[in-house]
Amino acid sequence: MTITYLNHSSFKLKGKRGSLVTDPYHNNVGFEFPKTSADIVTVSHSHQDHNAVENVVGTARRKHPFIINQAGEYEVGGISVFGVSSYHDDAQGSLRGKNIIFTILIDHISVCHLGDLGHDLTPAQVEAIGSVDVLLIPVGGVYTIDAKLATKIIHTLKPAIAIPMHYRTSEHDEKTFGKLATLADFAKEYGAEPQILPKLELEKSRLPEETELIALTPLI
């Protein structure tokens, strides 16, 4: 399986039997969404920087991507997706609403996308998420968990690979995202510098035994 970073909270997961894109965004984040196709699109919540499903086109296998924007269990073209309900804040959703955590199984590798998670995970949510090979985790704070809580959740889930997302870059709209922490801020809190890669190619049998922190260079 190959993972590429489309920026913000959006990734493309491409396996032998299909492809999936997480949380496509509108251009109001400060930059344009790259041209991308997929068989499946997951949407963690309905905010504009996560739900621009119209920006993802279909593939030779599917004329239009299959949209998953609700919790539950799905099987689409050999790709399994499990959605777990959570919240966008630490006040039971009263501030920013609900959020869906997706665990995606492609090529026998489990990828967990936390969306805009705004709180620590409950034991029930940890159990529902299950074993995680790759964790896609927000680290910027303000709208999501911050670097300190992200570090705690990484230690809780113990993925083979943790990939930060939803942090401030120079391309982000300053008015909306200017208060988010940067990747460097997270690395300082985590206590390790990430390995920077243009994309991540994975095989189940070659996953590291101890958690590795990897930051992917966005396509744009």
Are 71 and 45 in contact by the 8 Å Cβ rule? The answer is: no
Are 82 and 100 in contact by the 8 Å Cβ rule? The answer is: no
In the structure encoding, which two tokens stand for residue 89, read together? 């804040």
Q: What is the pLDDT of residue 47?
A: 87
CA dihedral 8, 138, 161, 76 (to 10 degrees): -70
Which residue, 37, 44, 45, is CA-closest to 63?
Answer: 37
Q: What's the rounded Cα separation, in Å, for the pair 37 and 44? A: 18
Q: Which CATH number do you get for residue 100?
A: 3.60.15.10
Low-confidence ranges of the chain (pLDDT < 70): 220
Q: What is the pLDDT of residue 220?
A: 65
Q: What's the rounded Cα separation, in Å, for the pair 163 and 181? A: 15
Count of domains forming the chain: 1
Q: What's the rounded Cα separation, in Å, for the pair 159 and 137? A: 11
Q: What's the rounded Cα separation, in Å, for the pair 3 and 161? A: 12
The residues facing 206 across adjacent strands are: none
User: Which residue segment(s) compose the domain that 173 sits in?
Assistant: 2-216
- The whole-angstrom distance between residue 136's C-alpha and the CA centroid of its chain comes to 4
